[in-house]
Structure 1
Amino acid sequence: MSGGSPDEQPEATALGAFLARTWECDPAGVRVRIAGQSTAGARRRNLVLDVEGGPHPGRYVATVLPTADIAILSMVDEAAVRTLARAHGVPVPEVVAVTDDESIVGGACFVSEFVAGETIPRRVLRLVAEHGVGSRIVTQLGGAFAALHAIDPAEAPAAMAAPAAPVTAALDGVGVAVAGLLRPEPAFSYVLRWLRDHRPAEPAARRIVHADVRTGNVIVDATGLRAILDWETAKVGDPMEDLAWVCTRMWRFGEDHLTVGGLGAVDTLRDAYVAAGGTWDDERFHWWRVLVTMRWGTGLAGQAAMHLDGRFSSVVMAASGRRVAEMAHDALALLDT
């Protein structure tokens, strides 16, 4: 999206008025220019804003959910958990305004500070290789996970209420997803049986988990980790789920020898997590790696189905279906490790 004057951008004008109301200042004094649109995956869009005037001029990002039909966590609740995590030392861009009013920019949204750095996975991995900061980022991720998992889940938004048994809930969820596939996938049925046969006990403590930290959902630069993004999947559950998800092969983007997001080793992640106060369990970690890999495979199939049935038409959602077989392969491969 190209920039322009506020008068040429109705969304910019509406966002300026929204920020003025939030900041309780004269809307005539707040001028917003949409400087561009950054990547936001298949589900949302991010507008880069340059704000002039008012009490807080600067660069911001407006994250917009096009339709509530695809919401996982409401934008208001996501903003709340972002703010909570930030208050406990997790690197998260500060949220300055949030609304569920879809009339402003065509969907519920929140506005947060702009954090400079790289998010596009291939560029991230090139930057990491150039500056040799992969292990540093993995160490920082371990510390961030430990800080997040140390938060009392009672402080989380009510919408994130924990299931009584997160392992059972996750297992039941993938069972429903496998049963709902548009066509049978024998590999997933086999992996589901393995998961049931090897299910661990429920976690001793349920904690706040992000559930989608990965290469592509973090901002990095030459100094290391700058911020963790996209908290729409945050919930209360088993902390080992977070640690397993960041190690899914799909997020390595060809750097398969670096298990943690193509950035570094599991040992580095574990040592940093434990050093910062986290509790690590190898058997639970392995079980969750299998489950989240299969769950992402069924999730990709579900995204393709949403495109096919018209709930959310998108080339990106449609293309998700081509990765389902890859996830089935990866889940099967994990059974032998």
Structure 2
Amino acid sequence: MKADQLAAYLAHRLPDASGITVTNLSRIPGGASRETWSFDAAWDQAGNAVKRSFIARRDPTASLLESNNDLEFELYTALQGSGVPVPEPIWIERDGAWLERPFFIMSKLPGASDARALVTTPEWADMTPAIARQKAEILARIHQFDIARVPLLDRPPSAAAAAPYEIERWERTMRQDTLEPQPVLEMALSWLRRHVPPPPERLTVVHADYRTGNFLYDRSGITGILDWEMAHAGDPIEDLGWLMIKSWRWAGDDRVGGLCSRDEFIKMYEAAGGVKVDRDALKFWEVFSNFKFAIIFITGTKSIVEGKTADLLLALTAFINPGVEAELMGLIA
């Protein structure tokens, strides 16, 4: 992505603007399914100098998972004013005419996303209790949001099908993308099929990647929830299972997301209006989350082997799976 490409695109979208300049263009590290670029823009409009900061989310050449630009854009649009802090979506392009691949532009929110800095540095120690509480409260709001307002959300045929639907989705991905036998994942798959939890009372929005590291924060607290590309309708406890897996315990201890104990998080989530958390269902979704996490890395490895990308991030993910598999075996032993 180049600054002159973005300037040309802004000129197309802002026909009354003149003197458009794009500065501070940089790719934000991370992002396993879509490239994220930050840039500033300035222009003159009706005699006034305008300056804005933007984020561009562009499809990659290959990724750890398939995702949908339209869904993420629709979610950001629907969630405006809901109490769930998300960026303002501005424009979406479904072809590669402007930036080689499909992309969308959204506003840039203040804050940092570095999970390790948040949970391990003295600078943020006084903020972690408030951020833990906000994290739980925002998740409760996500689960209260009406799925009918997001037509593009993939959803099972009924609440009773929520868990089997997700098992089948990720088993299908494993079968399609694996390059070698997966005995630990086959064992986990068998366990999941034998331990399907009772269905939720209703289907809710499931963020599906809700964790420390996927929100922005500053001294005011959480400023934005990011990375909605895996969102779907399903069992809300799925989100709790995902955020509790060992891979997101950034402080190196048992604290959920490096912020608080699981009992504290559940208590804050339920107090904020979240669903009652059944502990057996939570264990199911924690096992499922590790199963899913391992399969995401299998997809990334296949992209590398097939020459679809030379992204170092995708190459390195293959080394994470042994630890995820060890966690799986410990959970279901």
- Partner residue in 1 for 2:200: 203
Q: How far apart, in 2, do the equivalents of 1:28 and 1:108 lie?
A: 25
The one-character-per-residue Cα deviations of 1:215-273 (angstroms, maximum 9, x if unpaired) are 22111223321211111111111111111111111111342221x21122222322222
Q: How far apart, in 2, do the equivalents of 1:21 and 1:157 lie?
A: 29
Instruction: Letter of the 2:262 partner, please give it.
Output: V
Contact 1:178/1:189 (8 A) holds in 2: no
- Partner residue in 1 for 2:2: 11
* Structure having the larger proportion of residues in helix: 1
| CA distance 1:249–1:194, shift in 2 (3 Å) | same
- Partner residue in 1 for 2:154: 161
2:324 aligned with 1:331: no
Aligned residues: 324
- Partner residue in 2 for 1:25: 15
| CA distance 1:192–1:68, shift in 2 (3 Å) | closer
Q: Which runs of structure 2 are paired with 1:62-101 in the superposition (5 Å)?
A: 62-67=56-61, 72-101=66-95
Contact 1:65/1:71 (8 A) holds in 2: no
2:305 aligned with 1:311: no
Instruction: Letter of the 1:272 partner, please give it.
Output: M
Q: How far apart, in 2, do the equivalents of 1:41 and 1:214 lie?
A: 14
| CA distance 1:189–1:68, shift in 2 (3 Å) | closer
| CA distance 1:45–1:150, shift in 2 (3 Å) | same
Contact 1:49/1:60 (8 A) holds in 2: yes
Q: How far apart, in 1, do the equivalents of 2:120 and 2:218 lie?
A: 11
Q: TM-score, normalised by structure 2?
A: 0.88
Q: Secondary structure at the match of 2:318?
A: helix
2:132 aligned with 1:138: yes
The one-character-per-residue Cα deviations of 1:283-307 (angstroms, maximum 9, x if unpaired) are 2121101101111112212211111
Q: How far apart, in 2, do the equivalents of 1:89 and 1:146 lie?
A: 10
| CA distance 1:48–1:300, shift in 2 (3 Å) | same
The one-character-per-residue Cα deviations of 1:145-191 (angstroms, maximum 9, x if unpaired) are 11111111111033x23112221111223433454532223222222
Q: How far apart, in 2, do the equivalents of 1:11 and 1:120 lie?
A: 25
Q: TM-score, normalised by structure 1?
A: 0.87
Structure 1 position 310, deviation (Å): 1.9
Structure 1 position 20, deviation (Å): 4.2
Instruction: Compare 181-190 and 105-114 and name the one that shifted more.
Output: 181-190
Structure 1 position 81, deviation (Å): 0.5
% identity of equivalent residues: 27
Q: Which runs of structure 2 are paired with 1:108-127 in the superposition (5 Å)?
A: 108-127=102-121
- Partner residue in 2 for 1:288: 285
| CA distance 1:289–1:234, shift in 2 (3 Å) | same
Give the counterpart of 1:278 among 254, 274, 281. Answer: 274
Q: Secondary structure at the match of 1:87?
A: coil
Higher relative contact order (CA 8 A, sep 6+): 2
| CA distance 1:283–1:20, shift in 2 (3 Å) | farther
2:40 aligned with 1:47: no
2:183 aligned with 1:186: yes
Q: How far apart, in 1, do the equivalents of 2:246 and 2:142 lie?
A: 23
Instruction: Letter of the 1:162 partner, please give it.
Output: R
- Partner residue in 2 for 1:321: 318
Q: How far apart, in 2, do the equivalents of 1:215 and 1:196 lie?
A: 29
The unaligned stretches of length 5 or more in structure 2 are none
Q: Secondary structure at the match of 2:217?
A: strand
Structure 1 position 113, deviation (Å): 1.8
Contact 1:128/1:134 (8 A) holds in 2: no
Q: CA RMSD in A?
A: 2.4
- Partner residue in 1 for 2:146: 152
Instruction: Letter of the 2:268 partner, please give it.
Output: A
Q: How far apart, in 1, do the equivalents of 2:22 and 2:95 lie?
A: 19
Contact 1:16/1:27 (8 A) holds in 2: no
Instruction: Letter of the 1:106 partner, please give it.
Output: E
Q: How far apart, in 1, do the equivalents of 2:52 and 2:118 lie?
A: 25
Structure 1 position 69, deviation (Å): 8.1
Q: How far apart, in 1, do the equivalents of 2:39 and 2:241 lie?
A: 34
Q: How far apart, in 1, do the equivalents of 2:172 and 2:273 lie?
A: 35
Instruction: Letter of the 2:195 partner, please give it.
Output: H
Instruction: Compare 46-55 and 190-199 and name the one that shifted more.
Output: 46-55
| CA distance 1:99–1:119, shift in 2 (3 Å) | same
Instruction: Letter of the 2:172 partner, please give it.
Output: V
Instruction: Letter of the 1:175 partner, please give it.
Output: E
Q: Which runs of structure 2 are paired with 1:243-262 in the superposition (5 Å)?
A: 243-258=240-255, 260-262=256-258
